[in-house]
Amino acid sequence: MPINRRGLLALMGAGGTMGAASVTLAQPTPAAITFAHGVASGDPAADGAVIWTRASAGEGFGGDVALRWYVATSAEASPVVEGDVVARASADHTAKVEVTGLEPGADYVYWFTGPHGTRSPVGRFRTLPVGAIDEVVYAVASCQLWAGGFFNAYADMAALDRLDAVIHLGDYIYEYGAEGYGGEVGKAIGRLPDPPHEIVTLADYRRRHAQVKSDPAMQAAHARAAFICVWDDHETANDSWIGGAENHQSEEGDWAARKAVAMQAYFEWMPIRDPNPVRAREAIFRSFEFGDLATLAMVETRLLARSKQVLPKGDVPPAESLAAIFAELGEENREMLGKDQSAWLEGVLAQSVQAGKPWQVLGNQVVMAKVAGPDLEAELGPDGFGELLAAMPEVYRGQIGTAMQAYRAGVPFNLDAWDGYPYARERLYALFARAGARPLVLAGDSHAAWPNNLRDDGGRLAAVEIGCTAITSPSYGSLLPGLGKYLAASNEEVVFCDQDRKGYALVRLTPERAVAEHVTVSTVMQPEFERSVAATFVADAGVQGGGFRPA
């Protein structure tokens, strides 16, 4: 909708050491350390995973810290592999290990120890299966604004009986300060961002990552299962693209420098394999094989190749700019993935199809469906629309009317999503067809829950899509409750949309079908909550399978 996200909230009141076999004891040794940010695992493989922690050695300690790591089949069992790693001061005292030598499709626990016998919490992960499997279970998450509320969705996720991996689609941190996006809610519930200003420097980005990982529910989810992550825009700055970002101004320095330190902090603080040295650091696209059932391809749609947005999300296009907007949308060379990433993706999908796997899953940041903005005046009628405007602050009334004019003219709901890159989307759909795939697309960013059936310009079902709602970040439904039902009613590709509630998506794949549950929490304004499932949808596997339908 037309309200800028910052305005909406105002209205609502590393690169660690990888795979080190042994090290010399780091000097000097701190008197004591803690593992205040818990443990995490990620990027599982058939023979192991990345495990992560941070050694907190007290304010002002500048030396490295020697740690020892252990992996076992249970917390009571003897380790099956173990080794040494250094939490280096140059990596903000974070440490990562690429564990290998494990059995496929098996559950493991891991922990770290530090000087003087200090022991970390215990985490667990499941290695990727090999051969025939009958089910895989993913939790799909994104958009966790610290100031926006408590991470109750992660507490629920951590309690799941079966969870093979968490697929995180970005906005793990946000760059805004205490007076920015979400600040009013953060003040009300005592969750102000650290540092209190907008983050720009390496130290800033590190502190923001540290704050997120200080959350008990976040730590519990990380300890529950391996995360497979990709960034979206707020890990750098809002509406980022290859050459800049909506929320990066010249007085904040060079964009390339800001992007570089943001990526450095990300690789330090996230349980992700370090970047391939022969590729750009932005090229974090990679794939995972879940036995004979599914291939997961994680793509990057922000920093590597994306063209600048025609209009930032949330901005209202005035009537005099519509012709220019449509002209720019019609430029065929506008990119999202870029040629190299597209070629890689086609190869991954084609190989998966040739291997007979029923599911090709695409971990993608932004909504891919064609979503026209709703004509609320037509949906609500003149009286209902008038009541809606009367209930809104005056500053937004004109914006709503201008937005309705733009939507009636054909401007999409969100120009920062794939709707802002229609030719790039058609190229992607053609890629799917060449590979012989009809993928399951996963999407974050929108702060809303979606099952969508994606069709190319010829009407062919090109893919199906599940969009997860936010962990905490506010949606337009906070201002316009029920907005999702109008989006679903006015868009053929949208089967269902919930813009009101927070939570995550739980996706179960079998050889025959995908079942997607939109798990919601009753509140994010306090840490006590109730769990519910807003809706469940089913789609059949294979190129000939149908789209999503209610379960």
**Statement: residue 7 has pLDDT above 90:** no
pLDDT in tens, 302-325: 999 999 999 998 888 888 999 999
**Statement: residue 247 has pLDDT above 90:** yes
pLDDT at res. 276: 85
Mean predicted confidence (pLDDT) in 95-101: 98
Side-chain half-sphere CA neighbours of 241 within 13 A? 21
Q: Is the pTM of this model over 0.85?
A: yes
Residues paired with 450 in a beta bridge: 467
pLDDT band at 490 (very low <50, low <70, confident <90, very high): very high
The whole-angstrom separation of Cα 411 and Cα 309 is: 13
pLDDT in tens, 397-410: 778 888 888 999 99
**Statement: residue 18 has pLDDT above 50:** no
Mean per-residue pLDDT of the chain: 92
CA dihedral defined by 115, 118, 122, 127, rounded to 10 degrees? Answer: 10
Lowest mean pLDDT among 240-244, 296-300, 540-544: 540-544
DSSP 34: B
Question: Which one of 20-34, 214-228, 306-320 scores highest in mean pLDDT?
Answer: 214-228
The whole-angstrom separation of Cα 549 and Cα 542 is: 15
**Statement: residue 4 has pLDDT above 80:** no
Side-chain half-sphere CA neighbours of 93 within 13 A? 23
Closest CA to 509 of 208, 211, 162, 193: 162
Closest CA to 157 of 202, 215, 79, 111: 215
Within 10 angstroms of residue 29's Cβ, the number of other Cβ atoms is 16
Let me know: does 69 contact 51? Beta carbons within 8 Å: yes
pLDDT at res. 28: 66
Phi and psi angles of residue 516, each rounded to the nearest 5 degrees, phi first:
-115, 120
Closest CA to 174 of 165, 190, 166, 186: 186
pLDDT in tens, 462-480: 999 999 999 999 998 877 8
Burial bucket for residue 256 (CB in 10 Å: 0-12, 13-18, 19+): exposed
Lowest mean pLDDT among 175-184, 231-240, 344-353, 357-366: 175-184
The whole-angstrom separation of Cα 417 and Cα 465 is: 13
Strand 294-298 versus strand 359-363 pairing type: parallel
Closest CA to 252 of 268, 236, 231: 236
Lowest mean pLDDT among 195-199, 362-366, 480-484, 520-524: 480-484
Angle at 205 between CA 201 and CA 208, to 5 degrees: 140
The whole-angstrom separation of Cα 303 and Cα 320 is: 30
**Statement: residue 195 has pLDDT above 80:** yes
pLDDT over 70 for what percent of the chain?
95
Task: Give Cα separations from 309 to 4, 241, 322, 336 (angstroms).
Answer: 15, 8, 14, 10
Residues composing the chain: 551
pLDDT at res. 227: 98
Within 10 angstroms of residue 158's Cβ, the number of other Cβ atoms is 20
Residues paired with 467 in a beta bridge: 443, 450
**Statement: residue 341 has pLDDT above 60:** yes
Phi and psi angles of residue 489, each rounded to the nearest 5 degrees, phi first:
-70, -30
pLDDT at res. 17: 38
**Statement: residue 266 has pLDDT above 50:** yes
Compute CA 506 distance to the chain's CA centroid, rounded to the nearest angstrom.
14
pLDDT in tens, 61-93: 889 999 999 999 999 999 999 999 999 999 999
Q: Which two tokens stand for residue 78?
A: 């003897």
pLDDT at res. 30: 72
pLDDT in tens, 138-157: 999 999 999 999 999 999 99
Query: Does an H or E element contain 350, and which?
Result: helix 339-354
Selected residue with higher pLDDT from 442 and 9: 442
